[in-house]
Amino acid sequence: MSETKPFRAVLAVDVQGCGQQPDVLLPVLYHEIHSLLTGICERNSLGEAWRSVSLLQRPGHEIVALLPAETLPLLVHPFLDDLQGDLASSDLKICEHGLGLRLRVALHVGPVEEGTATADIARAVNEVHRLLRCEPLVAALDDSDPDVTLVAAVLSSEGFAAFTESGGTEPPASRFTEIRARGKAFDRQAWLYVPSPSSAAGEPAPPASSREVTT
């Protein structure tokens, strides 16, 4: 009988609108994002877990981190709201474009065997990678004010269940919107959360509980 793989919270973070940057600049951007995440974790009872985190190498500026499964509620709140707040108060820019940094975040929980060559191809890691690129998540930033909405996050159905079952009430469930995350050979229920919603046209955004993005 094969051993049961330990469950991990899988966090993925990527930059919106930086795909055309020269490769030589990507390590600098990666470092800035990593420093930002480190600061947030250190002040929100995630410091110890983050210091021992397994970071998987991905091309460019994407960060994928494996953390203990029990950290998932804290990665939802206050992590996501603090990420929005820290970006709003920072002067981080997207390389030569001078645009404010905007991040997509995906959260999942599933079995991953750390410290092995198979970690990077674990199903949970592949799924969070696809969630990070799903059209509703990308649209949540594309269709919003770039000076207001700096973070958009998606939780897998497993991640959302882990959050609600933990007793998490902030943000309330009404702030999450159910979506379909679709891609090649991929179609999953997921939950969208935007800490600071807005509209691209500068008009008042609808209440977060009624916002719906579909593919």
State the CATH architecture for 7-210: 2-Layer Sandwich (3.30)
Distances (CA, A) of 100 to 4, 94, 119, 148, 195: 43, 6, 33, 10, 16
Structure tokens at 64: 């994928």
pTM of the model: 0.86
The residue ranges of every structural domain in the chain are 7-210
pLDDT in tens, the chain (215 residues): 345 678 899 999 998 876 656 666 677 778 888 899 999 999 999 999 999 888 775 655 689 999 999 999 999 999 999 999 999 988 765 545 556 789 999 999 999 876 554 555 688 888 999 999 999 999 999 999 999 999 999 999 999 999 998 887 889 999 999 999 988 888 999 999 999 999 986 555 554 443 333 33
